[in-house]
Amino acid sequence: MPTLAPEIEVQIARVREEVAALHGELTRNGLVVWTGGNVSGRVPGAELFVIKPSGLGYDELAPENMVLCDLDGVVVPATPGSDRSPSSDTAAHAYVYREMPEVGGVVHTHSTYATAWAARREPIPCVITGMADEFGGEIPIGPLALIGDDSIGRGIVGTLRGHRSRAVLMANHGPFTIGRDARDAVKAAVMVEDAARTIHIARQLGEPVALAPEQIDALYDRYQNVYGQSPQGALQ
């Protein structure tokens, strides 16, 4: 096992536990089927991240079988879980971490409604206040990219860099979300599916009414910078 500073070992252990537990939120919220989908989390203070192993059932996931990788997506040898293959999306996650240092978590699902929008290659329009709060505008479509190299990661970064949305619908594939940590990225995955479902239902009733850009800006600013703050300004 590689020699790592004790404080990094502590962070790795913490991220392993968090990432393993957060996969339960994907099943709890109906975002995945069988072994599809994955969560990863960056290890603070190190060029490492933890990701789900490939092909392992959700009820079998545990901290010790999460896979530790470097930012090139290479499995760190002689570490817990290194005998397993990491998720098939590992190259995409690694590319995001390399190119977007502010990102601490990445999630991918094939959640039904969001993936249906991706199949249409249609952005989800910002027509509800909750979506303005969370994403600051529409949820964009990324390019068609196939698994096998970092093409998906390039598409994610190219679409989301400079965009307020923490979610992208990769064309004909499904949603990827990013966050300041793994939990934040999982929240985004839950919320993008909720928005995709709600707006799909609204369109069955007629054409939804778009929010004005200034309304979206005001909602996003309040939710991101005011909502939930204590009098001292700390987020609760």
The per-residue pLDDT for range 182-215, each reduced to its tens digit, is: 999 999 999 999 999 999 999 999 999 999 999 9
CATH of the domain at 33: 3.40.225.10
Higher-confidence residue: 149 or 105?
105
The structure's pTM equals 0.95
- Number of Cβ within 10 Å of residue 217's Cβ equals 15
What digits encode the pLDDT tens for the residues 50-65?
999 999 999 999 999 9
pLDDT of amino acid 126:
98
Number of structural domains in the chain: 1
pLDDT at 132 over 60: yes
Burial of 212 (0-12, 13-18, 19+ CB in 10 A): exposed
Please report which confidence band the pLDDT of residue 33 belongs to, taking 50, 70 and 90 as the band edges.
very high
Say if 64 falls within a structural domain: yes
pLDDT of amino acid 84:
97
**d(C-alpha 99, C-alpha 150), whole Å:** 12
Say if 232 falls within a structural domain: no
DSSP, res 213: H
Identity of the amino acid at 89 = D
pLDDT of amino acid 228:
65
Say if 130 falls within a structural domain: yes
Is-contact 48 11, C-beta < 8 A?
A: no
Domain that holds residue 58: 6-225
pLDDT at 233 over 60: no
Q: Give the range among 2-6, 72-76, 169-173 with minimum mean pLDDT.
A: 2-6
Say if 236 falls within a structural domain: no
Say if 133 falls within a structural domain: yes
In the numeric block, which tokens belong to residue 90? Answer: 């590992």
Q: Output 20-24 pairs: Cβ under 8 A, ≥24 positions apart.
A: 20/61, 20/62, 20/63, 20/65, 20/66, 22/182, 22/183, 22/186, 23/52, 23/58, 23/61, 24/58
Say if 231 falls within a structural domain: no
Say if 68 falls within a structural domain: yes
pLDDT of amino acid 4:
87
Say if 220 falls within a structural domain: yes
pLDDT, average across residues 136-164: 96
